[in-house]
Structure 1
Amino acid sequence: MSVSYRQPGVVLTDRTFTVPLDHDDPAAGTIELYAREAVAGDKADQDLPWLLYLQGGPGFGANRFIGRQAWLGRALEEYRVLLLDQRGTGHSTPANRQTLPLRGGPADQADYLARFRADSIVRDCEAIRPRLTGGAPWTVLGQSFGGFCTVTYLSTHPEGLAAALITGGLPALDAHADDVYRAAYPRVERKVAAHYARYPQDVERARRIAEHLLTHEVVLPNGYRLTAEAFQSLGRMLGSGDGSHRLHFLLEHAFVPTPRGPELSDAFQEEAQALLSYAGHPLYALVHEAIYGQDTRPTAWSAERVRAEFPRFDAADAITRDTPLLFTGESVHPWMFECDPTLRPLRETAELLAARTDWRPLYDPARLAANDVPVAAAVYHDDMYVDTGHALATARAIRGLRTWVTDEFEHDGVRAGGPRVLDRLLALVRDEV
C-alpha cells in the first residue's frame, strides 16, 4: 500500500517493494526496499518520465528533502522522481548492529552483506522499474557511490536507462582499493594544506587537540573513544564545499579551563561525536572498501595498510617533529570498530568482509566501450573523495560520455549547486551545449 501526502509544491508518495536478497538465488529469501516518489504538485496527474536518484555512500538512505531543495526542484520541472533507499539503508531492511544478528553469526552476516554492493543495487532497480514505468527506461542521477552504481548499470542493464547523469562518481574500472587510497592520501594532504592556508590559527589548535588525545583517554558522551586517529578522521569534512569552515568553527572552541586543567569542552565533544558516529550509517563502515573489490585479492583494510606508506599522517610523529597535523579523509579503519560503540559488535563481521576473495566484477569495459546510452558526468577538479585521474580515465572508456570538469564545487556540488549542476548535465546528454 502506498501513502501520498504534500509538502510545499510537492506531492510525495511512500512506496515499498519486495525484492530477492540474492537475485541469482530466490531461495535466499527477500528484503524490502523503500522509496519516496516526488512529483510537482501541479503535475501530479501528468504522465511524466521517471528519474531515479541513487544516493552516495555506500550506506546512506536517500536525501530527505523538504519541498524543492537542492537539485530536486529542477528535476521536478519535467520528471517524476524516485528517491530510493538502497538496500540496507534508511527504511530498506536496515543493516546494523541491532538487525544483523537476525541473519546469524559474523560469517552469516558477512555473506549477507556481500550482497549489498552496486551489482545487487542495480538489479533491485531493474526489479522495481517495470512496476513504476510500465517497462519504459528511466533517467538515473547518481551521486558519488550512486555514480559507481550508475556505471555498473551501464555495464549490466543499459536497456533500463534513457540517460545517465553522474556527479562526483566515476569509479576506476579496474583499480584495487590499494590503488584508490594511494591516490587519495596525497589529495587529502593538499586539502589539509589549503585549510591551514585559509585558517592558519588552526595549525596550533589541531596540534594541541591531538597532543591532548595522545596523553589522555577521552570517551565522548555516547561512549565513543576519541583517539588522535579518530580526531584526524574529521578531515573528511574537507571534501565538501563548506567543510573547511565547519572544521574551523569546531576547532575554535575545543578547550575549556577546569579545576583539573584544560579539557575538551562539552560543546566540542557533542559536535565531534555527531560527526564521528556511525550509528546512523553503519553499512558505510562495513562495506566501504568492498565497493572496490572486483577480483580474488582481499581489500584487507586497504586504507589502514596504505596509510603506513605516508608516515606524514602519523599524529605522534607530527607532534614530535613540530609539524602541522594532517587530517585524513574518506576512509575506514579497523580501529573504528573499537572506538565506535555502534560498530564494536560488528568487528568480526568487518574482518571477514575485509578478508573476502570472491568479489565479482562490477564493470564491463567492453560493454562500456560500446555504450549507446546518453551519459554526462560532473567531475570535480581535485575531488577529495574520487580521484580526478581515475574519473577521467573512466570517462574516456565509456563511449559517448560527456564530462563537465569544474573547480567551482567540491564533492557535494549536486547539493551546493544542485539546480545548476543538474541543468548542465541534462543539457550535455541532450546535446544542447
Structure 2
Amino acid sequence: MRTAEHYFTVPLDHFSPEASGTGAESIEVFAREYVSADHSEAEAAQLPWLVYLQGGPGGRGNRLASLGGWSKAAAKDFRILMLDQRGTGLSSPIDRNSLPLRGSTRAQAEYLTHFRADSIVADAELIRHALGSGPWTIYGQSYGGFCALSYLSFAPEGLREVLITGGLAPLTGTADHVYQSTFRRVAARNAEYFSWYPEDRRTVDRIASHLRDTPEFLPDGERLTVERFQMVGAFLGGNTRVDGLHCLLEDAFVETSEGSRLSDSFLEQLRALVSRAANPLYALMHESIYGQGQATEWAAWRVLKEFPEFRPDAAQILLTGEMVYPWYFEQDPALRPLRDVAGLLAAKDDWNSLYDPARLAANTVPVAAAIYSQDIYVDRDLSRETAAAVRGLQVWETAKFHHDGISDDGEAIFARLLGMTRSVRG
C-alpha cells in the first residue's frame, strides 16, 4: 500500500458566527490516506474517497501496517481516508496534560463541548471540500455510526453512500433508557460466558473476594479494586475475542511465600485494560453522545442501582461493559486530574441535538447497516427503532457476530454492506 498524511486547519467552533473569520480559534485535524499498490498513482488519483469513522468516542483512526479485512476490500475501489477525529491521535489531542492549557475547569468543559459528532461532521465536510471531492462514501463503526447519522442529518449533500456496523444510535430518549437496555444485554452475556467456562465463574468470585481482603497493586502503583477488575467485561463485547477473557483469567493467581497472590503477568495485562490513559476522551465524553437537551448526570451509575448484580459487593459479581462511572475519575491516574471537568459535563443540560429526525425521515442517501443481535454495546431493539426512522436504510441483522464483527470478517461484512447500497443505486 501507499500512504499520505494530511493536516487540516478547522474552526474550533464551526457553528459560531465568527467561525469563518480571521480571528476565530482553530484546531488541527489529521487524516492518513491509504491506497492499494495494485493501483498506479494515476489510477489512484481517480478513485473515489471512503472516509472511515472510528468507534469511541475518543478513538483515533486505525494505524494500518498493511491492508487487511475491511480495508483490503475497500481499497479495491476507494482511496481510504482514516480520520483522527478531533481530540484524538494527531488531531489536537486531549488528555490530562493538554486540557489544562485551556484554563479553568469551566473553560476546559466549554472547550470539550466542541468535540461531539456535529463538530466531527463539520470537520469532515471542510476536509471533503479541501480535497476537492464530490459526495463521498463513509463507513462508521460503533460510535462512527453515530457520527454517520449526524452526517445524514446535517450534511447529506456530502454523502454518496453510508455503511454502518454496530452503530445505529437512538435518535431520541435519555441515556438512562440506553443503559437500562445495555445492562440487561451485558447480564445475559455474562450468563452465556460462564455457561461456557464455569471454572471462570469460580475464578472471578475468588479474585473479587481476594481484592476485598488483600491489597493488590497494578504496575503503575495504583490499587486494583473490585470495580476496576470488573472492567475486564470489555472482552464480552467481542465475537472470538471473548475467549481472550478465559486466557486472562487462567493466569490470575500464583503461589507465593505470603500465600496466593495475583500474578505479575495478570496484573500487567489488567493495567492496559483498566486504564483510560490511551483514550481519556472516551471517559470524558462517553455519556454526552446520548445528551440531547438534557443532562446525563452519570446515567450508567444511576441505572446501576436497578441491577445490583453488577455492584462490586455482590455475592457473585458480573463483569461490566462500556459504561463509565464517576469513580473512574478517582481511581484512574490518567483521569483523576479531569474529575471536576467530567462533573461539569455530566451536569450540562443544554446539549445541542445530534440528529434531525425529520431530515432522516426524508433521507435519499443509500444507507446499509449491520445490526448484531446480541450486541452488548449498541442495543439491538434500539437500533431497530432507529433503522425504521431513517428512510431507505437497509438492515442486515445477524447473530453471527458481536460488536467487533469487522475484526473477525471485515472483508465480507464490508462487501455485503457496500453491495446493499449499490443495489439501491442501480
Same fold by TM-score, threshold 0.5 exceeded?
Answer: yes
Q: Distance in 2 between matches of 1:78 and 1:213?
A: 52
Question: Cα deviations across residues 304-362 of structure 1 (Å, max 9, x unaligned)?
Answer: 110011112123231xxxxx421111111111111111111111111111111110010
CA distance in 2, matches of 1:223, 1:111: 32
Partner Cα separation in structure 2 for residue 77 and residue 373 of structure 1: 22
Q: For the residues of structure 2 that align with 1:137 and 1:126, how far apart are their CA atoms? A: 9
For 2:415 and 2:222, the matched residues in 1 are separated by: 42
* Aligned residue number for residue 276 of structure 1: 274
Are 1:103 and 2:94 counterparts? no
Distance in 1 (CA, whole Å) between partners of 2:63 and 2:265 is 27
> Do structure 1's residue 339 and structure 2's residue 339 form an aligned pair?
no
Instruction: Please state if 1:190 is matched with 2:188.
Output: yes
- What residue in structure 1 maps to residue 304 of structure 2? 307
Q: Identity across aligned pairs (percent)?
A: 52
Q: CA contact under 8 A between 1:59 and 1:88: conserved in structure 2?
A: yes
Matching residue's letter, 1:244: V
Task: Please show how residues 363-378 of structure 1 align to structure 2 within 5 Å.
Answer: 363-378=355-370
Match of 2:148 in 1: 150
Shift, 1:65, TM fit: 1.3
- Matched residue, 1:7: none
How far is the alpha carbon of 1:93 from its aligned partner?
Answer: 0.6
Q: Retained in 2: the 8 A contact 1:301–1:334?
A: yes
Mapping for residues 23-422 of structure 1, pairs under 5 Å: 23-25=14-16, 26=19, 27-43=23-39, 44-46=41-43, 47-132=46-131, 134-295=132-293, 297-318=294-315, 324-422=316-414
| Preserved CA contact (<8 Å) 1:71 1:418 | yes
Separation in 2 of the partners of 1:219 and 1:365?
48
> Once the 2 structures are TM-superposed, how far is the Cα of residue 242 of structure 1 from its aligned partner?
2.5
Matches of 1:178 and 1:377 in 2, distance apart? Answer: 24
Q: Which amino acid aligns with 2:11?
A: P
Matches of 2:361 and 2:221 in 1, distance apart?
A: 50
What is the CA deviation profile of residues 137-195 of structure 1, one whole-angstrom value per residue up to 9, with x for unaligned ones?
Answer: 00000000000000000000000000000000000100211011000111000110111
Deviates more, 1:234-243 or 1:23-32: 23-32
How far did 1:225 drift? 2.9
What's the secondary structure of 2:139's corresponding residue? strand
- Report the residue type matching 2:7 in the other structure: T
Deviation at 1:28, TM superposition (A): 4.9
**Of the candidates 2, 7, 10, which is equivalent to residue 11 of structure 1?**
2
Per-residue Cα deviation, 1:284-316 (whole angstroms, up to 9, x for no partner): 000000110001x21111111100111121232
Kindly indicate whether the alpha-carbon contact (under 8 Å) linking 2:171 and 2:357 is maintained by their aligned counterparts in 1. Answer: yes
* Matches of 2:283 and 2:406, distance apart in 1: 23
For residues 285 and 223 of structure 1, the distance between their equivalents in structure 2, rounded to whole angstroms, comes to: 21
Amino acid in the other structure paired with 1:156? F
Per-residue CA deviation, residues 13-34 of structure 1 (Å, 9 max, x unaligned), is 0111010010123355111111
Deviation (angstroms), 1:218: 2.5
Deviation at 1:41, TM superposition (A): 1.3
3-state SS of paired residue (1:417): helix
Q: Check conservation: 1:59, 1:284, Cα contact below 8 A.
A: yes
Offset at residue 430 of structure 1 (A): 1.1
Q: Deviations over 1:232-270 (max 9, x none)?
A: 121121001133211111111111111222111100000
> Are 1:224 and 1:277, in contact at CA under 8 Å, matched by a contact in 2?
no
SS in 2 for 1:202: helix
Q: Which whole-Å CA distance do the structure 1 matches of 2:412 and 2:404 have between them?
A: 13
**1:21–1:31 contact (8 Å) kept in structure 2:** yes
Report the Cα distance in structure 2 between the residues aligned to 1:180 and 1:373, rounded to whole angstroms: 27
The superposition leaves residues 371-392 of structure 1 with CA deviations (integer Å, 9 ceiling, x where unpaired) of 0000000001110110000101
The amino acid across from 1:371 in the alignment is N
Cα deviation, residue 217, structure 1 = 2.7
TM-score relative to the length of structure 1: 0.94
- 1:304, 1:77 → 2: CA distance? 45
Judge conservation of contact 1:223–1:340 (CA < 8 Å) in 2.
no
Q: Does the 8 A contact of 2:240 with 2:408 survive in 1?
A: no
Q: Is the 8 A contact 1:223 1:341 kept in 2?
A: no
Q: Which residue in 2 is equivalent to 1:431?
A: 423
1:135 Cα offset (Å): 4.2
What amino acid maps onto 2:128 in structure 1?
A: R
Separation in 1, partners of 2:401, 2:387: 19
Judge conservation of contact 1:14–1:35 (CA < 8 Å) in 2. Answer: yes
Return the letter of the residue paired with 2:355.
Answer: Y
Matched residue SS, 1:257 = strand
Instruction: Give the aligned residue type for 2:331.
Output: C
Whether the 8 Å CA contact 1:51–1:139 is kept in 2: the answer is yes
1:116 corresponds to which letter in structure 2? F
> Residue 321 of structure 1 corresponds to which residue in structure 2?
none
